[in-house]
C-alpha cells in the first residue's frame, strides 16, 4: 500500500471560515508539524465560496491517520468547530501513486 491521501471539503456557517481556520491553527497545525507520518498538510480557502475550505493531507503511515482521528485534541477541535460548520465534511481517501515534491 502506498501513502494515504485524505481530502476534506466542507462549508462553514456564513462568515465563519476564518474562525474555523483559527481553531485549526491552534489545535491541529502544531500536531501536524510534529507528526513525521503526516507528510503533507495543506489548508485551502475555496476561491468561489468564501465559506468553504479544503484540507489535503498525506500520511506515510495509515495508522497515524487513525491515531489523529482518535486523539483528544481532535475531539476538542471537532467540538469547537462543529457548531461553525454548515454541513458534514466530505472526506475522500486515496492511495498516492505519484507526486511532485514529496
Q: Do residues 23 and 77 touch, judged by C-beta distance below 8 A?
A: yes
Pairing of strands 38-45, 52-59: antiparallel
Cβ distance 31 to 70 under 8 Å? Answer: no
Place of cell 500536531: 31
In angstroms, rounded to a whole number, what is the distance separating the alpha carbons of residues 63 and 81? 24
Residues 7-64: tens digit of each pLDDT: 999 999 999 999 999 999 999 999 999 999 999 999 999 999 999 999 999 998 888 8
Note the CATH number of domain 4-95: 3.30.70.100
pLDDT of 102 above 80 = no
Q: Taking the model in full, what pTM does it have? A: 0.90
- The rounded distance, in Å, linking the Cα atoms of 48 and 6 is 22
Per-domain residue ranges of the chain: 4-95
Amino acid at each position: 500500500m502506498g501513502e494515504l491521501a485524505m481530502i476534506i471539503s466542507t462549508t462553514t456557517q456564513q462568515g465563519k471560515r476564518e474562525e474555523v481556520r483559527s481553531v485549526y491553527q491552534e489545535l491541529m497545525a502544531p500536531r501536524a508539524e510534529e507528526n513525521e507520518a503526516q507528510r503533507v498538510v495543506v489548508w485551502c480557502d475555496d476561491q468561489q465560496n468564501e465559506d468553504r475550505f479544503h484540507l489535503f493531507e498525506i500520511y506515510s503511515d495509515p495508522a497515524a491517520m487513525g491515531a489523529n482521528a482518535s486523539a483528544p485534541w481532535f475531539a476538542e477541535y471537532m467540538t469547537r468547530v462543529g457548531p461553525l460548520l454548515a454541513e458534514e465534511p466530505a472526506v475522500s481517501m486515496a492511495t498516492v501513486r505519484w507526486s511532485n515534491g514529496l
